[in-house]
Amino acid sequence: MSRDVSAVKAELLHSFGELLGPLLDQAANGGLSAREAEVQTWKLVIVLGRSVLIAVLSLLCLRVTQTAVLERGLTMADVRTRMDNDYIGKLNSTFGKLRFPWFAFRDDEGHTHAPARKLFPQRPKMRVTELLLEWECALAADHPFRKAAEALLFFSHGAADVEDTTIERHAVLVGNAIPVEMLYMRSEKLRQVLEKKASRDSETGLPIIYASTDAHALKRFVDENWDPKWKMVNGIRLWCVDRHTDKVIHVGGEFTWGDCHDVAERFKRLQKTGILPVDGNYGDGLTAQVTLCTDGIDWIAEHVLPLFPDAVMVLDPFHVVEQVADTSAKLHPGKKGKAAAKRIVKDGRKALGMRNRRQRTKVRGGPVRERYQRKASAREGSGQRLLDDVLLPLLRTVRRGKKRLLQLIAYVQRNLYRTHYGELRARGFKIGSGAMESLHRTGSQVRLKRAGCHWTETASQAILNLRMLGLSGRWEDFWSQAAEIHLPALMRGS
């Protein structure tokens, strides 16, 4: 290949003319349908694109080699360039397979150097260009690996032909190399959200940032027998609520196969990195009200809540209602007790200040559905009211299921400090953990919980990281730094 740029240009233009001429002639003679014209144009673009890319990569490699030679106090005329097969770059790209020279050279001591290889830090573990690697990971994050391979081949018009096992290997390597901090919103954007968009505590005027953790089950291989079991993966999510639209603003989140101690350590890391300060102080005069909205499982109260002594604690009332419904079914079993059980649940919802289901929305002329609004009272809805109005009176009258009722009473009593629902509503807080529950679907289940899916811990963690990277809005940040930071670190780690 010529090292003269003008000669390279001339050769590319000549090749382009040879490819373009027959296509234009065929169109002029009416020998193409509209679809055939587009298909043929894509074929031309791919062939031309591959040629241009080979030329560009070759010139980049040449430039790197020239710089390395000059640093030795030599010129290109003083060294012998090796162009044999061992020093030809072979990569798969979005335009197909490429072959281009590294322009390796031999020094006076007989040692061969190929400095241009540093342009591709993923080699030799992954013989693909960075853009194709990004495409593979993007498709693997949303589709089964075989479907990802088919989609890649289809939308590249046959140019990017990659095996599904290759996509799987690449996605697992890259997904597990994503820095955890990139699963969360950039600090400057988070500050902007808190200052301009996030809903505020009407009592203190502070913007509110919510945090939660919850678990859901996925099928995972757990032993050498390769028998997949249902295992719990723990999720963490941070979010705000847009005070103008009432929509959830995703701040970030992650999933871990670790236990309660690992979840606690991850919250400590969020504190240390400033993503979720223990006191909500983000510096430069910006302080947010940290709010932990979780279910009533005991390990959260033991390992997570104590890490944020100044936070507003909220027990999701829907989980309380689930406990009430389960208890009422045991107090009044069978069809005969169904009406009585429903009445207990309805009274429980009222005591917690939860609206009846028929009050959820109201319709005003036309297709637009307006949210049902009502003013919250600080005295309306609390765990104490549930005890006083529903549970304790039941304890004096029921005979069957008394043990289960006592367990429910104990559950509510030990969580009273985070059941002041009326007061929290009056101050503008959201009291449900639905944002956390919905993350399970978008961040995990839509990809990992398909029919017949079962995972190793390493592969599932990689896919979870890729999906959370996309949700955090940091996808471009990661890949813009991939060649300089992430891929070299990945290759060293492997």
What pLDDT digit, counting tens, does each position of 385-406 carry? 999 999 999 988 887 888 999 9
CA distance 464 to 26: 49
pLDDT band at 494 (very low <50, low <70, confident <90, very high): low
pLDDT at 362: 52
Give yes or no for a contact between 183 and 168, defined as CB atoms under 8 angstroms apart: no
Task: Taking residues 323-342, report their average pLDDT.
Answer: 90
- Among 76-90, 187-201, 277-291, 311-325, where is mean pLDDT lowest? 76-90
Residue 319 has what pLDDT? 94
Please give the pLDDT value at position 370.
47
Band of residue 378 on the pLDDT scale cut at 50, 70, 90:
very low
Choice among 360-369, 378-387, 410-419 with the minimum mean pLDDT: 360-369
Q: Which of 225-234, 362-371, 424-433 has the lowest mean pLDDT?
A: 362-371
Pairing mode of beta strands 208-221, 289-294: parallel
Residue 63: pLDDT above 80? yes
How confident is the model over 117-122, as a mean pLDDT? 90
Distance CA 481, CA 33 (A): 44
Residue 85 sits at φ, ψ, to 5 deg, of: -60, -30
Q: Do residues 491 and 122 touch, judged by C-beta distance below 8 A?
A: yes
pLDDT of residue 366: 58
Structure token digits, residue 290: 């940290």
* pLDDT value of residue 229: 93
For the chain, the residue count is: 494
In the predicted model, what is the mean pLDDT of residues 426-442?
Answer: 94
Q: Tell me the pLDDT band of 355, cut-offs 50, 70 and 90.
A: confident
Q: How far apart are CA 407 and CA 355, in angstroms?
A: 25
Q: Which of 254, 231, 258 is CA-nearest to residue 455?
A: 231
Residue 45 CA: distances (Å) to CA of 12, 50, 59, 95, 315: 13, 8, 21, 9, 58
Give the closest residue to 212 by CA, choosing from 271, 275, 263, 281. Answer: 263
For residues 93-121, average pLDDT: 91
Residue 68 has pLDDT above 80, yes or no: yes
Residue 61 has pLDDT above 70, yes or no: yes
Phi and psi at residue 223, to the nearest 5°: -150, 175
- The answer to whether the peptide bond before residue 124 is cis (omega within 30 degrees of 0) is yes
What pLDDT does residue 304 have?
Answer: 96
8-state DSSP, 377: -
Helix (H) or strand (E) holding 487: helix 487-493
Residue that is written with structure tokens 């997949």 in the block:
228
Percent of the chain beyond pLDDT 70?
94
What does the pLDDT read at residue 364? 54
DSSP H or E run through 203: none
Which pLDDT score is estimated for 206? Answer: 97
* Residue 1 pLDDT greater than 50, yes or no: no
Phi-psi category of 195—alpha, beta or left, where left has phi over 0 and alpha has psi -120 to 50?
alpha
Res. 117 pLDDT band, cuts 50 70 90:
very high
Assign 434 a pLDDT band (cuts: 50, 70, 90).
very high
User: What is the number of other CB atoms lying within 10 angstroms of the CB of residue 79?
Assistant: 19
Residue 361, pLDDT above cutoff 60: no
Query: Would the pTM count as exceeding 0.75?
Result: yes
Query: How much is the pLDDT for 3?
Result: 61
Q: What distance in Å separates the CA atoms of residue 237 and residue 432, rounded to the nearest whole number?
A: 13
- pLDDT, averaged across the chain: 91
Tell me the mean pLDDT in the region 344-359.
82
Indicate the SS3 state at residue 470: helix
pLDDT, tens digit (0-9, with 9 covering 90-100), for 246-303: 999 999 999 999 999 999 999 999 999 999 999 999 999 999 999 999 999 999 999 9
Spell out the domain ranges in the chain: 1-116, 180-316+432-476, 319-359+376-423
pLDDT band at 372 (very low <50, low <70, confident <90, very high): very low
Which distant-in-sequence residues (6+ apart) come within 8 Å of 370 by Cβ?
361, 362, 363, 364
